Every structure is written in C-alpha cells, then in structure tokens.
Amino acid sequence: MELSRDQLLLKLGAAQNQSPSACRPVQVKIPEGDKSWQFSLRKNKLRKVRRREGHFYLRTNFLGHEPAEMWEFKILLD
C-alpha cells in the first residue's frame, strides 16, 4: 500500500490519538519532502511502560483505611 506523506501523517496522528501510551516509547523523525521516515525505540520509556504492566493504581481521598479494605470498597462499587 503506497501512501503519500500527508496520508502517513494523518495515520500517525490517528494512531497517537487512539493509543497515546503505546506511542510514547516510539520516536518518529518526519523528514521534509520525500525522504525516508526514521523510527527508533526509546528504551528508557519502554522500561517504564513494562514496569507498570499489570499494576492497578487506586487513588482515593479516604484516609485511615488499609489498602485491602480500600480494594474491597472498590470491588463493591464496580
């Protein structure tokens, strides 16, 4: 599939809008004219993303409760 530069920019913008967290570790260099695009992986950002995988952050304004008790409250509300 052959796409023009403008079509590629539109698709890149749509991908970033749809999934911004997936685009953070990827750096895209957009050249002027018809030169090739360059993609690289930001390894430090990828490490941060991988460290957070599988974690759920529960934020609350209730004070004085144990974390397990707060989780139970959250489960009851779902």
pLDDT tens-place string over residues 26-45: 898 988 877 888 989 999 98
Mean pLDDT score of the chain:
85
Structural domain total, the chain? 1
The CA distance from 55 to 70, in Å, is 16
The CA distance from 31 to 68, in Å, is 51
User: What confidence tier does 14 reach under pLDDT thresholds 50, 70, 90?
Assistant: very high
Look up the domain containing 27 and give its range: 5-77
User: What confidence tier does 8 reach under pLDDT thresholds 50, 70, 90?
Assistant: confident
Q: What is the pLDDT at residue 40?
A: 92
Name the H helices within the chain: 5-18, 20-23, 43-52, 67-77
CB 29 within 8 A of CB 37: yes
| Predicted structure pTM score | 0.51
CB 25 within 8 A of CB 49: yes
The CA distance from 7 to 5, in Å, is 5
